[in-house]
Amino acid sequence: MIQDLLEFAEHNFKLNKADDNGTKELEHLEQVERQTGIRPEGLEAPPFPNLLSHIWSAFILLHDARTAGFSGPNSLTYESIIAWVRLTGNPLNEKEVKAIKSLDNLYMRMQ
């Protein structure tokens, strides 16, 4: 099921990545759909694994608070995950932390 979440995330990251002009792939594909009336295949996302929505939500909140350096975004640290758990009171088990780190590794590879 984690693989399903990673496939969903990869699609999401690809659509939200900006080109050299700052335009996201999602915006390009939506423009094609508006102009042609045909929904591009790239807009069709893999199904979201609802049972893992808490992991995706935790990742998004951590991602939104991620730091950046001169060369771009920094990876999420275990310390930031621990701080998030303490601040929110939302416990994460070892498998869930590994899933968040896998999502982060995928995001970083796609930058």
pLDDT digits (tens, 9 = 90+) for 14-65: 999 999 999 999 999 999 999 999 999 999 999 999 999 999 999 999 999 9
Q: Give the predicted TM-score (pTM) of the model.
A: 0.91
pLDDT tens readout for residues 4-19: 999 999 999 999 999 9
Please state, in angstroms and rounded to a whole number, the distance separating the CA atoms of residues 35 and 88: 44
Cα-based angle 9, 10, 16 (whole degrees, multiple of 5): 85
